[in-house]
């Protein structure tokens, strides 16, 4: 008999408990229940065949139980972390080796039978569940009566953002962050990451200035390309007038008429004189190309 596996659902429809994905946060019991239900559905086509298999779970620990048993693992800096920083911490606590966990949790799991059996008789790792929710709960508890809100998400920050410019000094940024925190606290909010927020505002404004400079550079380069024929024509005319050897055509006077410095005119005059001395054939001297 040929057994065909059913097509797996699309990835977006599979909130796997085996990986903490955006939008999902599992308790240990919920993740275990989901794993068992998923296994039942996944093995259904193979039930009664040689491909049938029993469920083998993994050891899961709730973050609340982990930090309750090992409070020294709690970093007080988490109370001041932004939502993104808390999110970035999740993968680092995803898996733990059993010897890294408080042994009281491991022994309790063995006694209760919660520590799954494996083929070689030894479970080496554990998954910490509910970490994201616990981190946000810890930050909320540490804020006391205030509500922790990331500065970048605070709708009251528009007024304070206007006080930050590309010219703001570090001291002015620190003052702006303090004012924002005080304003937020008066509204019952603990502002998280205010210093980083104002630094990002200044950086964004400075980036905009640099982009303006780059745009102006490109604009000037385009204008200079269009001016090249006119500048060449000006050199030709100045050189022709210098060839007249008129008394009124001093370097200063001719430079004023042509929009050149007197040193630029002097350079052309010197080149013309050298050209006239060296010219002896049809090809002419070094300035002959200007008149073609």
Q: What is the pLDDT of residues 118-128, one digit of tens each?
A: 545 555 677 78
DSSP, res 45 = G
Q: Report the pLDDT value the prediction gives residue 230, as an integer from 0 to 100.
A: 92
Confidence of residue 136 (pLDDT cuts 50, 70, 90): very high
pLDDT at 207 over 80: yes
Q: Tell me the mean pLDDT in the region 144-172.
A: 94
Task: Give residue-wise pLDDT tens across range 234-291.
Answer: 999 999 999 888 888 899 999 999 999 999 999 999 998 888 877 654 444 455 555 4
| Mean confidence (pLDDT) of the chain | 80
Q: Are 185 and 191 in contact (CB under 8 A)?
A: yes
What span, in angstroms and rounded, lies between the C-alpha atoms of 279 and 281?
Answer: 6
E strand segments, 109-193? 125-129, 147-150, 189-192
> Exposed (0-12), middle (13-18) or buried (19+): which is 223, by Cβ within 10 Å?
exposed
3-state secondary structure of 128: strand
Question: pTM of the predicted model, to two decimals?
Answer: 0.62
Domain spans, the chain: 1-142, 144-228, 245-291
Both tokens assigned to 98: 């059993």
Q: Residue 43 contacts by C-beta under 8 Å, 6 or more apart in sequence?
A: 52, 53
Helix 170-186 crosses helix 194-244 at what angle (to 10 degrees)?
140
């Amino acid at each position: 008999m040929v057994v065909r596996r059913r097509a797996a659902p699309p990835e977006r429809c599979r909130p796997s408990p085996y990986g903490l994905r955006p939008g999902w946060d599992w308790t240990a019991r919920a993740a275990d229940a989901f794993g068992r239900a998923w296994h039942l559905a996944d093995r259904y086509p193979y039930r009664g065949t040689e491909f049938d298999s029993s469920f083998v779970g993994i050891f899961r620990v709730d973050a609340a139980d982990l930090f309750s048993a090992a409070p020294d693992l709690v970093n007080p800096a988490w109370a001041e972390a932004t939502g993104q920083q808390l999110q970035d911490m999740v993968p680092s606590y995803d898996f733990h080796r059993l010897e890294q966990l408080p042994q009281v949790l491991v022994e309790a799991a063995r006694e209760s039978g919660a520590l799954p059996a494996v083929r070689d008789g030894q479970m080496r790792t554990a998954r910490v569940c509910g970490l994201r929710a616990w981190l946000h709960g810890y930050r909320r508890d540490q804020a006391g009566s205030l509500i922790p809100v990331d500065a970048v998400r605070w709708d009251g920050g528009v007024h304070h953002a206007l006080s930050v410019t590309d010219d703001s000094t570090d001291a002015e940024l620190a003052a702006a962050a303090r004012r924002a925190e005080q304003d937020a606290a008066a509204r019952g909010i603990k502002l998280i990451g205010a210093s980083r927020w104002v630094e990002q505002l200044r950086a964004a404004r400075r980036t905009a200035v640099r982009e303006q400079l780059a745009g102006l550079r490109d604009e000037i380069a385009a204008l200079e390309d269009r001016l090249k024929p006119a500048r060449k024509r000006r050199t030709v005319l100045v050189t022709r007038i210098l060839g007249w050897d008129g008394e009124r055509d001093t370097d200063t006077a001719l430079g004023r008429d042509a929009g050149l410095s007197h040193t630029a005119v002097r350079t052309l005059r010197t080149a013309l004189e050298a050209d006239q001395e060296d010219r002896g054939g049809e090809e002419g001297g070094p300035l002959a190309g200007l008149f073609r």
